[in-house]
Chain A
Amino acid sequence: MTVTLSEWFSEAANWVFLIIALPTLFSAFKVVSTTNIVRAVLYLVVTLAGTAALFLVLGAEFVAWTVVLVYIGAVVILFLIGIMITRAPLTSASSLSHDLSVRLPAALLSAVLFGVMAWAFIDAFENRIIPFGDDATRSAALAEILFDRFVIPFEVVSFVLLAALIGGIVIARRDPPEEPGR
C-alpha cells in the first residue's frame, strides 16, 4: 500500500502529524541551542509532550501516558533540581556551549548522520502507509505480553531501577565526618 504526495497532503491525519511534529522538532533544536539553561529543560518538556502526542496519534496510549508520567512528571523535575543545586550560570552563553570551532563540525556530523538515515529509510520503505487497526493498543493486551513473553526482562529492569535508586543515594550522599578514636 503506497501513497502519492498529493494524497498524503489530502489526509487530515497527516496535517495533525505536521502540526505536532514540527513544534517537537523545533523545541528539540532549542533544547540543544538555547542559552538559558532552565529554558532548555522546559523546551525538553515540549519535545517529550510532542512525542507523547504522536504516540496517541499512533494508538499507543499506554506508552504515551507513561512518557507523560515518567518523563514530564519525574525526569524533568530531576533535571531542574540538578540545575538549581549545581547553580549553573543562568545567562552566560559561553559556559553552556562550545564555540564555533566545535559547533560547525558537530553540525556537519549531525547533518551527515541525518542524511544517511533518511536515505536508508526512504530507500527501504519508500511511501508504504501504516495499516491502522480498528482501535488503539489496549493496555490489557500490553500487560499480558509484558508479564508473559517479556517477564524476565521486566524483572531485570526492576533490579536495574533498584540498583539505580540505591546507587543514587550512595553517590550523592554526604559522608558523615569520621568519629575520632576509630
Chain B
Amino acid sequence: MSEVERVPDERAAALEVRGLRVALPGAGEVLRGIDLSLSPGECLGIVGESGAGKSVLARTLLGLAQDDSSARVTGDALRVAGTDLLAAGRRARRRMRGRDIGLVLQDALQSLDPLRTIGAEVSESLAVRGVARRDRRRMVLDALEAAGLPGGETLLGKRSGELSGGMRQRALIASAIVGAPAVLIADEPTTALDATTAVHVLDLLGELRDRGTALILISHDLNAVARVADRVAVLDAGRVVEQAPTSRLLESPAHPTTRALLAAVPRGPKPATGPSAPSGSSASAPASPEFFLAAQGVTRSYDGVAAVDDASVEVRSGEVLGVVGESGSGKSTLARLLIGAESPDRGDVETSSPAPRVRLLPQDPLASFDPRHRVGRILALSRRDGAPSEEELLAQVGLDASLLARRPATLSGGQRQRVAIARALAGVPDLLVCDEPVSALDVTTQAGVLELLTRLQRERGLGMLFISHDLAVVRQISDRVAVMRDGRIVEQGGTERVYAQPQHPFTAELIAAGTPGPGATRRS
C-alpha cells in the first residue's frame, strides 16, 4: 500500500470522517455510518453512554482498529491530519501516530507505564521517530511546561506512582503533545480525577485548543464537555444522532437520546414534590418516631494520619444529610464510624433511644453480596419481622421477580444497586447510610436510582446519610449538606443556603468546579 502524501494546506480540515462503518469480530457492526469534521483550533465533544461506540471511534481515528485483520473498516472518507486512513497501509498508519495525532486516556496511573520513568514515557513518540537524544530532552521539558509542569527536570527520573493524580494526568498529556500533533483525542481524560483537579486539566485542554490543536473530547460527563467543546456530537448505538454547537445542544436538544441524557444529568436543587420542604425541617411522614444518629467530635486515625478529625454530624428521621468531599476526605470513614463498624479514637457516636435500625448501601454492592447466594436468598437472609416478601421487595425497587433466581454477578450495575436497596429495606430500617451509591453508574441509570432513593426516603420518612464526591448529585437529594476536606467538616448547613452562599473557600471551589458555562474557558 503506498503512503498518501500529507496535505500542506493549513486551513483544511484537521479531521474528516464520512460514512464510517466499523465491524469488529464478535461484536458486529459497532459504528454505523459516522460523519464528523474538525478544524484546527476547534474542540468537538463526543458524548454517549457506554456501549455507544466512543472508544472504538477513538481507536479507528488512530488507525488502531484497522490493525486487527478481522476488523472491517469502511467509509467514504477517513482523513486524519492529511493521512487517508482508508487507503494507508499498516506502516503509514503507525507513522502517523504520535506525529500527527495524540491520545490521552483516563487514569494516568494505568495509562502511563508504571515501570518506566516519566522522561522515558513522555519522549517515547520522539524516540520512535528517531529524534536525537539531545533534542528529545529539550522537547520533553517544553512539553511538560506546556502541560502545566514547569519544574520538569525533577520529574524526568520519577515514575507515575510518585506523582499526584493531577500531575500524572498532565504528564500523560505532555506525552501526547510532545510531537506537536495536529489532532489530539482525549478519551475520558478527567474521569479518575477529583472535581477541582479535573477543572484545571480541562482548562489545559482548552488552552491547547486555543493554540491551534484540533481536539476531540470524549466523555460521559456533559459538564466537562460543556466547558471545553465548541460543538458536541451525541453517539448512540454506533450512530451520531445529533450534532450541534454546544450551547444550542445544551439548551434546546433535538433528539430524544440527547434529551434523555440531559434530563438525567443532576442539576439544581432537590425537587420539592411531596410534603417535605427542602430546608431541613423534620418530615411530615405519618407517625414516625424521631430517630437520630449523631457523631460528636469524632476522630479516627490510621498510622498516625487522621482520616476523620473532630467531626460532628447528625442524621435524623425524615431528613437527608449529604456528605460531600473529594477522595481521601474521610467520608467513608465517617460513615463507618456512624454505623459502628469502627470505633472513634476520640469523641462519641450517640443514638436516640430506642436505637435506630441502621442499614448500609455500600459503595461496591457486588462485594457485599455473598458470591454463592442468589438474589432471593440474599433478600431472605436480610428480612426482619414486618418486612414484605422478597417479590414485593424487588417490586418496590422496580425490579422483576424473575431476578430472584439470578446471581448478583450476572446483573447490571444499576440492577445490583437496586437489589442492594431492596436488601436494606428488608431490614425495615429507620436510617439509611449510602456510601457513593451511584458513582459507578451511567448517567441515566444514576438518575433512576436517585429518583428511587428519594421516593423511598420520602414515603417512609427514613433518615438518610448520603455520601458522594459529586456535588450536583448531593444537591439533588439532600436537605442538609456537610462538606468534608482532609477529615474535617469545613461547612455544614441547609443545602440551598450552602450552595448559594458558601462560607468556606473550599466549598466555593467545589461549587465552581461543578458548574461550567458553555465555553467558559474560551478566550475570545
Answer yes or no: do A and B interact.
Answer: no
